[in-house]
Every structure is written in C-alpha cells, then in structure tokens.
Amino acid sequence: MSEVVAWRAAREFASRLRDPMFRCFARSVGFRAGRRLVLALAEEPLSSVLDRVGVTEPESPVTVVVYRPGVEPPFSFVDLYPTPAA
C-alpha cells in the first residue's frame, strides 16, 4: 500500500466521521464505533489486507474499511468474524 495514499485515506476517513450524514451511512451498513478497524485500498491484494487483520476473536470482529477514491461514498465496510469450529 502506498504510504501517501494510505495517509490520504486515513485522513479522509477521519474527516468523514465528523460528518453526521456519513456517520448515518456508516451505521446503516453496520459500522460500529469501538471495533478494530483495518484500512485497505481497493486495488490492494487481499493477502496484504488479511495479514493486517490477523486473528479475529469471536468477541471482537474486525471491520475492514476499503478506500475507493473517485467513488461516492469512497469507503466500503466489510465485517470479518471468525469461522465457527466444526
């Protein structure tokens, strides 16, 4: 992930969280404050994202925030939960 693009994405996400309309959108798609977040770029390899996610605990799912510049809204949210034991 380009460090410059990653910083831009992080700044934009933080800025958007101050916008009540964006917070409403984020809550409508399941975003919850206090969850562990992993920022990802749309063109980033999935293996890189999963390396940063690491082990997911049942009590604390991870929300992957995918930055897609040029699209409105520029963020997608994906919640990752552990796979239940068989």
For 65-83, the pLDDT digits (tens) are: 999 988 888 999 988 887 7
Question: What residues have CB less than 8 Å from 63, skipping those under 6 apart?
Answer: 30, 31, 32, 35, 36, 37, 38, 77, 78, 79, 80
User: What is the model's pTM?
Assistant: 0.79
Backbone angles phi, psi at 5, to 5 degrees: -65, -40
Tens digits of residue pLDDT in 23-74? 999 889 888 888 888 899 988 898 888 888 887 666 678 889 999 988 888 9
Higher pLDDT, 83 or 9: 9
pLDDT at 8: 86
